Amino acid sequence: MAGNVFGNPVTDDIVRLIYPDKDVTPELRAEVAIQYMNADGRDVNCKEFVYNLKERYGNGISALCMIFNATGDNLTYVGYYDCHGHIYESPYPSLIQNGQWGGFLHVHPTAWTAGSESAVMYRGNNSAGDDRDWMLSWGIPFIGDNHAYTEIREAKHYEEDNWNYIKDLLESKSTSATDTWGGCYSSVTIGQGTSPEFVGIMSLDGVVTDSLAATFKTLAADSATQDKKE
């Protein structure tokens, strides 16, 4: 297991232990992954990892990013787009298996006064086996309020030059967003302050309930720390 992913994957064997009388489907694997979000301290371990990155980085605008795979299958990193800033020390997780958290720290550029504003993309499948790309984005401006935005589109959609459009969408949003498209679901939320937590959940359409979606929106709300903007 890579050092920036946390938790044992939720496999067919685990699903059968919980639901011995049901056929294992992608939706059922995704549902069990949601049940395992906090199992065995995987969420705590991911949080400790990104906070340790932050401690090593020190003062300055940064996004403490934690993303969870509840799609019922693997998610593979396929790219990023930096408007401002860059990844710090640990790379984006290359593979996040079902039921695992991935963590990373994104920091502002050192050469000039700008915040952390970026997007990361992961590829997986909907329940029919069609390729989909999840896009998760965040913005912590040098001046102004924080933003979070997410989309799901067909595979390779983000290889096209849509980034000015996406940047405008991101900067028009508040601190949380969701998307349901192509049989898939995504939710993102970011706290306030200059070094907040950013939490992203990637799943399938119909797996995440309204009450659970409301919980996602509050995950990072009280996580902010205030750093000097330098």
For the chain, the distance separating the N- and C-terminal CA atoms, rounded to the nearest angstrom, is 35
Q: Percent of the chain at pLDDT above 70?
A: 90
Q: Reduce the DSSP state of residue 117 to 3 states and report it.
A: strand
Q: Which tokens belong to 70? A: 């509840």
Q: Is the residue at 147 inside a domain?
A: yes
Type and span of the H or E element at 228: none
Q: Is the residue at 230 inside a domain?
A: no
pLDDT band at 37 (very low <50, low <70, confident <90, very high): very high
- CA angle 65–176–197, rounded 5-degree value: 25
| 72, 125, 105, 195: CA torsion to nearest 10 | -80
Q: Is the residue at 66 inside a domain?
A: yes
CATH of the domain at 154: 2.60.270.20
Average pLDDT over residues 167-191: 96
Q: Is the residue at 145 inside a domain?
A: yes
pLDDT in tens, 88-146: 999 999 999 999 999 999 999 986 678 999 999 999 999 999 999 999 999 999 999 99
Residue 224 clears pLDDT 90, i.e. is over it: no
Q: Is the residue at 229 inside a domain?
A: no
**Strands (DSSP E) found in the chain:** 5-6, 62-70, 75-84, 86-87, 95-96, 101-107, 116-125, 131-140, 147-154, 176-181, 184-190, 197-204
| 146, 152, 155, 157: CA torsion to nearest 10 | -60
Q: Which domain holds residue 104?
A: 5-218
Q: In what order do the strands lie in the sheet with 131-140?
A: 95-96, 75-84, 116-125, 131-140, 147-154
Type and span of the H or E element at 99: none
Q: Is the residue at 223 inside a domain?
A: no
Q: Is the residue at 224 inside a domain?
A: no
Quote the pTM value. 0.94
Total structural domains within the chain: 1
Q: Is the residue at 213 inside a domain?
A: yes
